[in-house]
Amino acid sequence: MLHLIGLGLSDPTDVTVKGLEIIKKCKRVYLEAYTSILMAASTESLEEFYGCKVLLADRELVESGSEEILEGADKDCDVAFLVVGDPFGATTHTDLVLRAREKNIEVNIVHNASVMNAVGCTGLQLYNFGQTVSMVFFTETWRPDSFYDKIKENRRIGLHTLVLLDIKVKEQTLQNLLRGNDIYEPPRFMSIEQAAEQLIEVQENRKEKNYEADTPCIAVSRLGSPRQVIRAGTLKEMAEYESGEPLHSLIILGHRIHDLESDYFMQWAFNKDTLKKSLEDDQKYTYE
């Protein structure tokens, strides 16, 4: 059987009791290591906690080497595939399930907390969120803005937008890739301020005013860890924020905010007067 097991958000102990019991009985245990990371855990600490060897599964192995992961799972062994957050937090994992079922391999899912539901800690009501978007690192030649249209759709009907920020954990330069060199760049994690700067840049280029520098936002850093920090303010204030260690997420607020939501997140405002004015102006705005 193939077991997809969610690990939660922060450290080795966030795994469920059910998930831990399954891990301990599996012949092979893979850790998906490219869509997210456990902030307070190394591979060694996971191995010590689980009492077994943990094999790192990078993007290439998961997307192109699924045969290796699934080997024997249809016959005489159990294989665990560990995912930070919840198993279905990324489409890659859905693809792995489909590949397993094509081989008549039974699949078991063990769910856990993910950023998609844990953002409720901001005080925002989960059913007031619209489409989630991803923000990638811009380069000199690649500055994609397709996320803008989803934010636009969310904002038109007053819904919040969760923006997931890019991480690069095993990336090569174009030169090393073309030369076939197994040389990888140091890990990079997008900060709140970089995401805000890119959002403002796209808004200025698009000139549609579906959000602006004064639009209210919430930043969440190191979600689910003892070092979790939440801050609320305008997008411009986020661009000047020093968000510190990863991981980070950013929420662009919708213009239909319940009083309970604003009462709750106002405690984390950079400046309460500025944020109150931003919320008031946003509720009056007619979106294009």
Annotated binding residues, written as ranges, equal: 9, 86, 89, 114-115, 165, 223, 248
Integer-rounded Cα Rg, in Å, for the chain is 21
**Which residues are annotated as part of the binding site for S-adenosyl-L-methionine?**
9, 86, 89, 114-115, 165, 223, 248
Check: CB of residue 92 under 8 Å from CB of residue 62: yes
The angle at the Cα of 173, spanning 170 to 174, to the nearest 5 degrees, equals 130
CB neighbours (10 Å) of residue 3? Answer: 23
Angle, helices 17-25 vs 43-50, to 10°: value is 90
Q: How many residues does the chain have?
A: 288
Q: Phi/psi at 88 (nearest 5 deg)?
A: -105, 30
d(CA 53, CA 55): 7
d(CA 53, CA 36): 20
The dihedral built from the CA positions of residue 35, 40, 42 and 48, taken in this order, carries a sign that is negative
CB neighbours (10 Å) of residue 24? Answer: 12
CB neighbours (10 Å) of residue 207? Answer: 7
Write out the two tokens for 26: 């599996």
Q: Which residues pair with 251 in a beta bridge?
A: 162, 218
Residue in this structure with the two tokens 């939501």, named with its chain if needed: 261
d(CA 60, CA 217): 35
CB neighbours (10 Å) of residue 17? Answer: 8
